[in-house]
Amino acid sequence: MGIDDPDAVATALAVGYRHLDTARIYDNEAVVGEGLAAGLASSDAARDDVTVATKLWIDDLGGDDVGPAARESADLLGVETLDLLYVHRPRGDYDPETTLPALDRLVDEGVVRGVGVSNFEPDQLDRAIATLDAPLAAHQTELHPLFYRPELLSHAREHGYTVVAYSPLAGGRVRDIDAVRAVAEAHDATPEAVAIAWATAKEPVVTIPKASSERHLRANLAAADLDLAPEEIAAIDAVEREEELFPE
């Protein structure tokens, strides 16, 4: 699930990436931290320009466990403040009445800048928003042309938080989708760039595609320059096959 080479992180910063996403369950926070330090030292990226995000796994979510887990993650990542800290899944030790106040305390203490959740349903999002003192910064959810839940985007727009789309390339399956390939051919672009452009056209979505080689890193960044027509977005929206890669 996670990058295991610090050079890939440093390269990502060098070519223009400014959002690093990891998780405690990936067991690579130290690798990301090493790459972050190297990238900041060797590129024009400034620490304040980079969003460093991680996630608390289901056994980190007890009220007494949240703080120590978050501080350990910050130490491994080599940062004083985690820009974004997620509840990875609302399972295990997750209890809104104890987990979320513990996250609020981390914000008050300056350990965490923003609180996010991941893989939540709308009713769970409602309860999180009602319970947190801090504003909900982001909801990370699987989103790609083979798995798309418009109701989650509507909820984000209504409540003013960002949707962070993981697996936007559907594990490479976007290359097999006729509608995506057709749009890619029309723009002389890759199917991967089209899938990212399709996702980011949906406010308020940002994507976090996984890539390690410089070629793939640069190719994914090219999606920012790709402007899809409404009918092209609609054609991808209409893809009927549904494939959730990471079900609960």
* 161: annotated active-site residue: no
The two three-digit tokens of residue 192, written as one number: 């991967």
Return phi, psi of residue 84, to 5°.
Answer: -150, 125
DSSP, residue by residue, 177-214: -HHHHHHHHHHT--HHHHHHHHHHTSTTEEEE----SH
- E runs forming strands in 61-149: 84-87, 115-118, 136-142
Distance CA 39, CA 31 (A): 12
Q: Which residue is listed with tokens 């996630």?
A: 55
Is residue 53 within 8 A of residue 22, CB to CB? The reply is yes
Of the residues 26, 148, 161, 166, which is catalytic? Answer: 26
Q: Classify strands 162-166 and 205-208 as parallel, antiparallel or unpaired.
A: parallel
Active centre residues (catalytic): 26
